[in-house]
Structure 1
Amino acid sequence: MGKWTIEALGTDKVIIGMCHFLPLPGDPSFDKKGGIEKVIEAARHDLLALQEGGVDAVMFSNEFSLPYLTDVRTETVASMARIIGELMPDVKIPFGVNVLWDPKQSLNLAAATGAKFVREIFTGVYASDFGLWNTNCGDVVRHQHNIGAEDVKLLFNIVPEAARYLGDRNIIDIAKSTVFNTKPDALCVSGLVAGAETDSQILKKVKEAVPGTVVFANTGVKLNNVEEQLSIADGAIVGTTFKKDGVFENPVDVTRVKEFMDRVKKFRENLKN
């Protein structure tokens, strides 16, 4: 239980900090005057703040490529590869990638950069803010092996933000069948949107349903609920909480990261005792 997180990321009850890229070339909100250099420098600031604050791993994502695509264009992936390549000398901890919302492109980026994990929507059919959203996990996993990315861990988001499962199935049935049919490395349980708290009761039910699978709290883990969430989950993916004033659009605040990680480290110590 949680074993691969110890081997790949160095700990159980792991905290993965989000490094959100500003809008990229081709995105509607891309700052053409500031150019890709502005995106790189903002990403470097957030990466260094997350590392100094003590997170266990970092995940790079094109969070501000709004509105998102489910068939991501080449210029987006190329830009993300450029940014990560520029940051590589500064990366001191394990990292993953998330190309929203395209699992094949996430794996392509992981293979190109040496990422240890990807987070994506791999399974299900959804009614979403960006239209009917379908997936093909079998095709994606075969692509993973074809490009030599079989060691990349797959984090399955089974409660997509801003989307609803088309089939009338509860989260427990989804978790069980996802684990049986697709053998994910982890399940990510979310709130409705980025920064929204993951319901601890749902988190608990999912973990109990698939005790042999790593389960992450995917959104809304904050200073005041981190112990409760980590008492159930094997780890958490944290974005908004680490931002200045806890505002999604702001840069990462190293003081907030340190305060949060100090609490996490105390929680881990208490588990050992």
Structure 2
Amino acid sequence: MTWLKDVLGTEKAIIAMCHLMALPGDPYFDSEKGMDYVVEMARKDLKALQDGGVDAVMFSNEFSLPYLTEVKTETVAAMARIVGELKSDIEIPFGVNVLWDAKKSLDLAAATGALFVREIFTGVYASDFGLWNTNVGETVRHQQRIGAGHVKLLFNIVPEAAKYVADRDIESVAKSTVFNNRPDALCVSGLTAGAQTDSQILKRVKESVPETVVLANTGVRRENLVEQLSIADGAVVGTAFKVDGKFENHVDQARVKAFMDDVKAFRQR
């Protein structure tokens, strides 16, 4: 049994993404509609996800495109406001993800009471955002300094839109990440949000670190959930829950319910 049962309430857990609209300072922030509109859209998506039956939810600044690797204070402040205003509506375990800044994600978790964060904690990458470096030793020390030691760390080891600078196979990455950093979970992704995680890569990661929670991080849909959940311990799902399955749309509760009905049937096998 993994920590998923204790923290999220079930094995083969589905963590749903609540994608926040562009925030103050972001290129696509709608200053006319303002933050009140962003909060209300997040509330609408949260309700659709919860009513659809997901196991947990993760709030992320998904539309802060293009992303920063050192996120500005105004972004974290805006996210804290949103989660704070929604706190009384949150009925399931929740996490946060400040793209792509591990320390800021932990700051937000400490401020809001989030139970987990997903981030790029390790590695050096050539990415769409430039040369992308990390400092996991400093990050986990920061986690302890701010009293967030209980927050589960979900390590994304196949970053979207990026590739390791060194030529390392995925088994080596998984094994060394687990040995050196003791992550609570490893997340395996496709190229972008909504892109299917390669089942063979997922299988190779799980087989190389069988005692560690491994999550399919992108592209799980009704059509492939049996295949993916047969390998992974759970999944992070965003785009599949959107209207017409499109990344830029808001959540469709009917799609969420249909997906979760299939997941529950899979769990009972």
TM-score under structure 1 normalisation?
0.98
Which residue of 2 is the match for residue 130 of structure 1?
129
Which residue of 2 is the match for residue 21 of structure 1?
20
1:166 and 2:168 aligned: no
Q: Which runs of 4+ in 1 moved over 2 A?
A: none
Aligned residue for 1:229, secondary structure, equals helix
How far the C-alpha of 1:194 sits from its partner, in A, is 0.5
Which residue of 1 is the match for residue 237 of structure 2?
238
* CA distance in 1: counterparts of 2:203 and 2:17, whole angstroms: 23
* CA distance in 2: counterparts of 1:120 and 1:192, whole angstroms: 15
Which residue of 1 is the match for residue 98 of structure 2?
99
Q: 1:242-253 residue pairs with structure 2 within 5 A?
A: 242-253=241-252
Aligned residue for 2:268, secondary structure, equals helix
1:200 and 2:199 aligned: yes
Q: What whole-Å deviation, never above 9, does each CA across 1:140-183 have from its counterpart, x for those lacking one? A: 00000000000000000000000010001011100000000010
How far the C-alpha of 1:86 sits from its partner, in A, is 0.5
- The unaligned stretches of length 5 or more in structure 2 are none
Which residue of 2 is the match for residue 176 of structure 1?
175
Q: What whole-Å deviation, never above 9, does each CA across 1:234-258 have from its counterpart, x for those lacking one? A: 0000000000000000000000000
* CA distance in 1: counterparts of 2:163 and 2:120, whole angstroms: 12
Q: 1:183-194 residue pairs with structure 2 within 5 A?
A: 183-194=182-193
TM-score under structure 2 normalisation?
1.00
Which residue of 2 is the match for residue 84 of structure 1?
83
Which residue of 1 is the match for residue 267 of structure 2?
268
* CA distance in 1: counterparts of 2:238 and 2:137, whole angstroms: 30
* CA distance in 2: counterparts of 1:131 and 1:204, whole angstroms: 29
* CA distance in 2: counterparts of 1:75 and 1:85, whole angstroms: 15
1:65 and 2:51 aligned: no
Aligned residue for 1:173, secondary structure, equals helix
Which residue of 1 is the match for residue 51 of structure 2?
52
* CA distance in 2: counterparts of 1:101 and 1:203, whole angstroms: 22
* CA distance in 1: counterparts of 2:80 and 2:228, whole angstroms: 33
Which residue of 2 is the match for residue 5 of structure 1?
4
* CA distance in 2: counterparts of 1:9 and 1:125, whole angstroms: 31
Aligned residue for 1:255, secondary structure, equals helix
Instruction: Return the letter of the residue paired with 1:259.
Output: A
* CA distance in 1: counterparts of 2:178 and 2:166, whole angstroms: 17
Aligned residue for 1:27, secondary structure, equals coil
1:139 and 2:138 aligned: yes
RMSD of the alignment, in Å? 0.5
- The unaligned stretches of length 5 or more in structure 1 are none
Which residue of 2 is the match for residue 152 of structure 1?
151
Instruction: Return the letter of the residue paired with 1:117.
Output: F
How far the C-alpha of 1:75 sits from its partner, in A, is 0.2
* CA distance in 2: counterparts of 1:94 and 1:82, whole angstroms: 18
Alignment size in residue pairs: 269
Q: Percent identity between the aligned chains?
A: 72
